[in-house]
């Protein structure tokens, strides 16, 4: 990269092979972008590639989010949608940004890039760039010039390239944060993702403008929060937000976790412990085999699955880890010896998590997952408290299914690590690893093979043996017998039918007594 001392009209002729090849690959690799560039060229419309893609390309990073600006964005989006079979969806009413999305069933469904097109703000591209958030994003490439000359003529009116070289984050103007307070969250994310230093003026402005986040649409807050959780170091980002009084504005439901003590005086309050648990989780996500050994591959396959749109289960797991103790303030009690108790905090926390996730407009799948995670988070701890948990106890845990038991194991391991680090300053993962690997051996060697076994009795067998008519009781018996078979407690048809008779007798007696 090269920079100069000019001010408002800096521009650079970038000869980097990396930049040129990245733009060529971008156009070749996306039918939507190829159509957009072709149509703009043929119609003689202004079209600029702006922001993050250029920033990341200059840094040698890949970027799948591609932003364009045009003074004829409305016409362009319609023409591109018509030619490619995509759909132009308005994603930002304030700035008029549309996202060009492939339709289900279209040939371009497999596109890797997220393509956004915005109207030009102001009378020129320089006006537009000066109204953006941060100087490192205030970069533009005239696609028309590139198309005709294959010349990467980069516009940098505010010295963004120099700021990249100095690892510095600066606002484009004094109004940047007040114009759009969501940029406050973006600032912390960029600082963490790119190892930047917050300019002193930005830090001061953030503290002045942070309450403006209360006026930002919750969907935009949600999207930026999810991007933060997507980062490998989201725990450190949230700590910075917390220290500057911003996280309280975003997650007011967690305020009561602050300064709530735990029984061990060496442990931090519940909120700080939750942040530490999130940081520990991120350690394990980067070092999965250190915890799970050969089973790490299985866990990663589940954790990285898409849960809602482009958001993965891992993102929801991080949110669940942050919230897993949120029921404690509501369920706090003090015993005779002065010890604190939090009986039922899992259930209380699960309900609070549903409320928080619903307020953030998360999908039903995400809400249910986070709620389950909070409700069930003590299950691995109960297993760990037993020197030799029974086959039934382990079976009941793994019966939750891999979509839940893998996240629960990671949450438990992170909680264990955060607690040990707080109390002793050191962490010995060997006892934890041995126990978890032992549980997983039991699952893969004994439980999982039984998942493929056919049921040893049918509903017809049960009706014939017990002289029952078709009805809910038959289904209830069959379901219970299937579970007992999976747990290894019955293995023959005779055992199953005798067990069915005992169950029917017990249920009948219980019904008569009540």
Find the mean pLDDT for residues 245-265: 88
Of the listed ranges 10-14, 239-243, 471-475, the least confidently predicted one is 10-14
pLDDT digits (tens, 9 = 90+) for 104-123: 544 444 467 889 999 999 99
178: Cβ–Cβ under 8 A, 6 or more apart, which residues? 209, 212
- CATH code at 64? 3.30.460.10
Closest CA to 231 of 291, 275, 289, 188: 188
Indicate if 323 and 230 belong to the same structural domain. no
Residue finishing a domain among 119, 136, 162: 162
Indicate if 405 and 359 belong to the same structural domain. yes
Find the mean pLDDT for residues 72-98: 89
Whether the pLDDT of residue 323 is over 90: the answer is: yes
Whether the pLDDT of residue 296 is over 90: the answer is: yes
In the three-class reduction of DSSP (H, G, I as helix; E, B as strand; rest coil), residue 329 is classed as helix
To the nearest 10°, the Cα dihedral for 253, 259, 265, 267?
Answer: 50
Indicate if 381 and 278 belong to the same structural domain. yes
426: number of Cβ within 10 Å: 7
- CATH code at 228? 1.10.110.30
Query: From CA 439, how far away is CA 401, in angstroms rounded?
Result: 14
pLDDT at 244: 92
The total number of structural domains that make up the chain: 4
> What are φ and ψ of residue 206, in 5° steps?
-60, -45
Whether the pLDDT of residue 16 is over 60: the answer is: no
Give the C-alpha distances (Å, rounded to integers) separating 331 from 262, 275, 290: 13, 20, 35
- The answer to whether 39 and 79 have CB atoms below 8 angstroms apart is yes
- The answer to whether 35 and 122 have CB atoms below 8 angstroms apart is no
Whether the pLDDT of residue 11 is over 60: the answer is: no
Indicate if 337 and 239 belong to the same structural domain. no
pLDDT digits (tens, 9 = 90+) for 469-483: 898 888 888 888 887
pLDDT at 514: 56
Indicate if 411 and 463 belong to the same structural domain. no
Q: Find the domain containing 504 and state its range.
A: 459-513
Indicate if 261 and 395 belong to the same structural domain. yes
pLDDT at 13: 45
Q: CA triplet 58, 63, 65: central angle to 5 degrees? A: 125
Residue finishing a domain among 162, 192, 224: 162
Find the mean pLDDT for residues 53-68: 91
Indicate if 319 and 435 belong to the same structural domain. yes
- Classify the C-alpha dihedral 276-281-287-290 as positive or negative: positive
Q: Are strands 11-14 and 152-155 parallel, antiparallel or unpaired?
A: antiparallel
Give the C-alpha distances (Å, rounded to integers) separating 77 from 14, 69, 98, 423, 458: 29, 11, 8, 58, 58
Residue finishing a domain among 142, 162, 182: 162
373: Cβ–Cβ under 8 A, 6 or more apart, which residues? 316, 317, 320, 321, 324, 404, 407, 408, 411
Query: From CA 282, how far away is CA 236, in angstroms rounded?
Result: 10
Indicate if 275 and 338 belong to the same structural domain. yes
Query: From CA 490, how far away is CA 502, in angstroms rounded?
Result: 13
């Amino acid at each position: 990269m090269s920079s100069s001392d000019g001010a408002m009209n800096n521009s650079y002729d970038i000869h980097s092979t990396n930049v040129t090849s990245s733009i060529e690959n971008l156009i070749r690799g996306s039918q939507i972008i190829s159509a957009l560039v072709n149509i703009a060229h043929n119609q003689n419309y202004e079209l600029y590639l702006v922001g993050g893609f250029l920033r990341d390309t200059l840094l040698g990073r890949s970027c799948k989010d591609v932003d364009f600006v045009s003074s004829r964005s409305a016409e362009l989006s319609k023409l591109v949608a018509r030619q490619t079979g995509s759909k132009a969806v308005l994603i930002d009413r304030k700035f008029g940004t549309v996202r060009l999305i492939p339709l289900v069933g279209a040939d371009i469904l497999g596109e890797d890039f997220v393509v956004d097109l915005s109207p030009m703000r102001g009378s020129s591209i320089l006006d537009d760039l000066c109204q953006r958030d941060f100087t490192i994003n205030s970069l533009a490439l005239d696609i028309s010039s590139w198309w005709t000359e294959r010349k990467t003529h980069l516009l940098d009116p505010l010295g963004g390239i120099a700021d990249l070289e100095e690892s510095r984050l600066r606002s484009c103007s004094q109004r940047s944060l007040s114009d759009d307070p969501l940029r406050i969250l973006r600032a912390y994310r960029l600082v963490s993702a790119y190892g930047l230093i917050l300019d002193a003026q930005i830090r001061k402005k953030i503290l002045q403008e942070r309450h403006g986040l209360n006026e930002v649409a919750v969907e935009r807050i949600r999207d930026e929060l999810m991007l933060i959780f997507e980062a490998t170091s989201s725990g450190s980002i949230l700590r910075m937000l917390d220290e500057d009084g911003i996280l309280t504005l975003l997650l007011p439901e967690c305020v009561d976790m602050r300064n709530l003590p735990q029984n061990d005086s060496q442990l931090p309050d519940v909120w700080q412990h939750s942040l530490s648990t999130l940081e520990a989780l991120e350690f394990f996500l980067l070092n999965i085999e250190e915890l799970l050994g050969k089973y790490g591959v299985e866990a990663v396959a589940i954790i990285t699955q898409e849960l809602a749109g482009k958001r993965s289960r891992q993102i929801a797991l991080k949110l669940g880890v942050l919230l897993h103790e949120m029921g404690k303030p509501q369920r706090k009690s003090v015993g005779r010896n002065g010890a604190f108790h939090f009986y039922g905090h899992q259930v209380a926390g699960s309900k609070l998590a549903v409320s928080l996730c619903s307020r953030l407009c998360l999908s039903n799948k995400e809400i249910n997952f986070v709620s389950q995670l909070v409700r069930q988070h003590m299950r691995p701890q109960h297993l760990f408290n037993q020197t030799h948990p029974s086959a039934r106890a382990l079976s009941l845990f793994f019966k939750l299914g891999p979509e839940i038991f893998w996240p629960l194991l990671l949450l438990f391991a992170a909680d264990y690590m955060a607690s040990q680090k707080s109390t002793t300053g050191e962490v010995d993962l060997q006892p934890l690893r041995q126990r978890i690997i032992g549980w997983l051996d039991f699952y893969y060697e004994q439980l999982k093979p039984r998942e493929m076994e056919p049921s040893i009795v049918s509903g017809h067998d049960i009706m014939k043996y017990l002289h029952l008519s078709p009805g809910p009781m038959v289904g209830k018996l069959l379901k219970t017998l299937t579970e007992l078979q999976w747990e290894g407690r019955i293995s023959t048809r005779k055992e199953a039918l005798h067990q069915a008779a005992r169950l029917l007798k017990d249920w009948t007696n219980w019904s008569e007594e009540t």
